[in-house]
Structure 1
Amino acid sequence: MIFEFVTMENEVAAVSLPTLIGLSRNVARLRFSHHGRHAVQGGAYLSAFKGRGMEFAETRPYTAGDDIRNLDWRVTARTGKTHTKLFQEERERPVFIAVDARRSMFFATRGCFKSVLASQMAALIAWSVMQHGDRIGGQIFSERSSLELKPEHGRRAVLHFLRKLTELQPAADDSSEERGLPEALTRLHRHVRPGSLVFLLSDFRGYSRACETALLRLRRHSDVVLLKLYDPLESTLPDQGRYDFSFGRRRFSLHATQRAADAYTRRFQENVEMLSALSRSRHMRFGTCSTQQDPLPVLMQIAGVSSQSFR
């Protein structure tokens, strides 16, 4: 059997700006129930995330009973008297969408590239954020670079983010000093302000303890949603036998034994279970989406919204 990998000449290998803009029509149909635990409360575009962060208001002299975690050490050192930071609830919440653009994301045997799927999901989230009046920020990272976009309001901010997504290209395979997933997550943590809602769209290739540590650091001050994107071939190898693969002009063969196929499937499942367990233990949201799936129902499930709410 011959598998023809999707190549950059096919429309499913790259996404256009009109396509991402068109996804705003899907978000316009989002209607949340006004009863029960999914009731809309002031800007909750994904109803599972109704919280707001806290923003700095002022500094005043310390009084008995103040939380020592909020001490303003800079003012204390300058004045010689202990001061406390005061915070107030934010009227809106920054939302960050981190998109994995490493080489492994430019791959598919079915459906579209994982990078295209990530762009579609990011666009749906971004339009929803705009619709409900919150600020949208982002990060697009690869082995060679990381682009951070500060949170801003409105359609202009969304379009700027979407244009960057349409420019995604796999990094050249010629660097001896490539950045891994832990480095990208560390940069994300530095970029995200406390109280934000963070979506991470990735295939989590190369996930490690260092990645877990970085995610836990991010989770301390922000709500986090992990979305694992994958191609069906990455979850389950075909039946045992010989398979020929092509990627553009490159050709190679795979001899799949049952033992190898079972081990391959186990590794994928272990990765999913590890991310799922981490999410449960730290109250993060976690979901998976294959390159053959429609991303909108996956986001609906993550939000805890029934399909009837979208009709």
Structure 2
Amino acid sequence: MSPLLSPESPELDDTHFALLASYAKHLGRAPKAIRFATSSGERRARQKGHGMEMLELRAYQASDDLRHIDWRVTARTGQAHTRLYAQENDHQRLLLLDLSSSAYFGTRHTFIATRFLQLAGIIAWRSKQQGDTLSYRIAYGNQDHASNKSGTLPTLLNHLKNASKIENRVNGNNTASIWSNNVLTSKAHNKDVIILTDKQSWSKDEESTLMRLAEHNAVHWIQIFDSNAFNLPAGQYQMADNNGIKSVTISKNSMQQAKADFFEQNTLMRKKLASFGIRHQIFDISESPEKIARYLLSQGALH
């Protein structure tokens, strides 16, 4: 079994996070048409100059630099046209990671939390390798860490390693929203925002902040769940945590009800996010973090 899909322990160490660098390096490249798409919620800055990639060709405006007039198109159409450019190496990215106590669970391969942390590690390494600016805020257990400084990859990886510890399951849930009351999100403009969380609900105040975040940025919401958790046979199960082992009884009816409740809530969340212009995608824990990272690459959230 692949050490990426099924690590030896859900608690990840420095060696595992170092391994993620290789996976990040070999993701490939996103199609240019997607990387510079101007879809809803995305406000990619337009800049003019040499050594940059063309974003758009449009009719000439008085403020345009004469050096960027496309003379061939101008001659063909009889109207002056200007090339607009997007600076390829100036990608601003914001990573928001929020794990509930329920994320420290899994019926196969590893914990949901572990899969999120592997993905966050790949995002961090890829941003470093591509020279992108990465800000982050991560919340787990009773911990909350944030940074908008460059050169913080070792610090971020250390936070991710600590977030993988099973003790975070019993340290209580951080109820604060990772996008509310935060200077990182209130001042975020023209960024690729990646939200990684297993949570499916938020308050009215949080919703307003989320809408504003999506208005000025390209927001991608990644959810990971364990579909096998809804297919367990009825019976008693031994659940272990730092407090010891306890028995949990599961019936067929309770399993069916839990599945129905989850997907009903998930459908409502997906529709709400879509109305904000946020791209939501759900993955099963059986899918590798490399595959999820490739999805983000295809959507322009990674480069």
Asked if Structure 1 and Structure 2 have the same fold, meaning a TM-score greater than 0.5 normalized by the shorter chain, the answer is: yes
Task: Confirm or deny: 8 A CA contact 2:17 2:157 kept in the other structure.
Answer: yes
Match of 1:149 in 2: 147
Counterpart for residue 231 of structure 1:
226
Q: Would you say 1:52 and 2:50 are equivalent positions? A: no
How many angstroms apart in 2 are the aligned matches of 1:114 and 1:281? Answer: 27
Partner of 1:97: 95
Q: How far does residue 228 in structure 1 lie from its aligned partner after superposition?
A: 0.9
Q: Any idea what the Cα deviations from partners look like across 1:46-75, whole Å, max 9, x if unmatched?
A: xx99853589xxxxxxxxxxxxxxxxxxxx
Q: Deviations over 1:195-234 (max 9, x none)?
A: 2221111111554555433321321222211111222345
TM-score scaled to structure 1, two decimals?
A: 0.67
State the one-letter code of the partner of 2:91. R
Residues 1:245 and 2:245 are matched in the alignment: no
AA in 2 matched with 1:291: I
Q: Does 1:107 align with 2:105?
A: yes
- 2:281 corresponds to which letter in structure 1? G
Letter aligned with residue 160 of structure 1: T
Paired residues of 1:17 and 1:166 also in contact (CA < 8 A):
yes
- The corresponding residue for 2:269 is 275
In the TM superposition, residue 116 of structure 1 has moved relative to its aligned partner by 1.4
SS at match of 1:227: strand
Q: Give, in whole Å, the separation in 2 of the partners of 1:140 and 1:174.
A: 15
Contact 1:189 / 1:217 at 8 angstroms: preserved in 2? no
Partner residue of 2:69?
none
8 Å Cα contact 1:54/1:195 also seen in 2: no
- The alignment's C-alpha RMSD in Å is 3.4
Change over 3 Å in CA distance of 1:229–1:151 after alignment to 2: farther
- Distance in 1, matches of 2:109 and 2:43, equals 35
Q: 2:133 aligns with which of 127, 132, 135?
A: 135
Alpha-carbon distance, 1:188 to partner: 4.4
Paired with 2:214 and 2:98, the residues of 1 have a C-alpha distance of 18
d(CA) in 2 for partners of 1:34 and 1:288?
22
Pair 1:263–1:211, CA change in 2 (3 A): farther
Deviations 1:3-37 (A, max 9, x none): xxxxxxx94221112212221212222333667x2
Task: Quote the residue 1:292 is aligned against.
Answer: 286
The answer as to whether partners of 1:201 and 1:226 remain within 8 angstroms in 2 is: yes
**Take 2:130 and 2:100, find their aligned partners in 1: how far apart are those partners?**
31
CA displacement at 1:274 relative to structure 2: 2.4
The normalised TM-score by structure 2 is 0.69
Equivalent residue number for residue 218 of structure 1 = 213
Question: Aligned equivalents of 2:30 and 2:137: distance in 1?
Answer: 31
1-side partners of 2:31 and 2:228: how far apart?
A: 41
What is the match of residue 186 of structure 1? 180
Aligned-pair identity (%): 15
Question: In 1, Cα distance between the equivalents of 2:41 and 2:293?
Answer: 13
- Report SS of the residue matched to 2:180: helix
Point out the more displaced range, 157-166 or 272-281: 272-281
Closer/same/farther in 2, CA of residues 120 and 162 from structure 1, 3 Å limit: same
Aligned partner of residue 152 in structure 2, secondary structure: helix
* Residue 13 in structure 1 maps to residue 10 in structure 2: yes
CA contact (8 A) 1:13 1:116 kept: yes
SS in 2 for 1:296: helix
Q: Which amino acid aligns with 1:247?
A: A
The separation in 2 between residues aligned to 1:173 and 1:30, in whole angstroms, is: 35
Query: Secondary structure, in 3 states, of the residue corresponding to 1:167?
Result: helix
Which structure has more relative contact order (CA 8 Å, sep 6+)? It is: 2
SS at match of 1:272: helix
